[in-house]
Amino acid sequence: MKLEFKLAGAPAALRALKRSGDKKFVLVPDSALLAAPGGLDLLREAADLCIEKGAGLSIEGVTPCLLPGYTRYLSASRRSLPCPAKERCFLQGACAGIPAAHSGVAAAFKPPARPLTDLEKCMLAVLARKNKITTAQVLKLAKGIKICASCSNEGEVFRAAERLIRMGLVAKEYRGGVYIWTKKTG
């Protein structure tokens, strides 16, 4: 069963989905639904109904940034445009871009907010106390901060810092055989 999800008809489409005995569903949201407040919640509710029924599910024309956690149900758009937020997006290469059918609401396609991990919070707290420091100095200062319990080796510092670099919050520089970590401002 192919269901076109339009903003005005979404409640009716949900009711039809609940009553349907079909074993396979294709959900096709329109641009207005994707851009509207609460529109993605309606789409998630429809997807969850299909999953709970044990039905096959495919969601067309939606990128992973709009529905994290539903990636395996998303079918790639045949025509897509480059996403302006691709460089900042934690999904990086997992996204094919904005489906051409939704190019009018390109602003709706943006990297999802992701809470910082304890390691990332710790790294930022360390750099707030002392900026432009080496990895060894980060580890030493982290012992006095009780945000995370696992900042105990260079690998953990590098993993957290690399994610913060992708978010644009931290920078690194290789100088004199060591990395220097800097918290970006502004």
| Least confidently predicted of 22-26, 34-38, 105-109 | 105-109
**Per the domain annotation, does 30 fall within a domain?**
yes
pLDDT at 93: 62
Let me know if 15 is exposed, middle or buried by CB neighbors in 10 A (0-12, 13-18, 19+): exposed
The domain boundary, picked from 66, 88, 108, lies at 108
Specify whether 67 is located in the same domain as 156: no
Is 11 in the same domain as 80?
Answer: yes
> Do 16 and 40 belong together in one domain?
yes
For residue 98, is it within any domain? yes
Report residue 153's pLDDT band, with 50, 70 and 90 as the boundaries.
Answer: confident
* Same domain assignment for residues 40 and 103: yes
In a domain, 125, yes or no: yes
Number of domains in the chain: 2
Please identify, among 108, 128, 161, the residue that sits at the C-terminal boundary of a domain. Answer: 108
Q: Are residues 99 and 155 both part of a single domain?
A: no
Asked whether residue 158 carries a pLDDT value surpassing 80, the answer given is yes
- Domain range enclosing 48: 2-108
Percentage of residues in the chain with pLDDT exceeding 90? 15
Question: By mean pLDDT, which of 12-26, 29-43, 88-102 is the weakest?
Answer: 88-102
Average pLDDT for the chain:
81
Q: Are residues 139 and 169 in the same domain?
A: yes
Place of tokens 């998630």: 44
User: Would residue 113 count as lying in a domain?
Assistant: no
Q: Are residues 99 and 20 in the same domain?
A: yes
Asked whether residue 176 is assigned to any structural domain, the reply reads yes
Cα 27 to chain centroid, rounded:
21
Return the CATH number at 168: 1.10.10.10
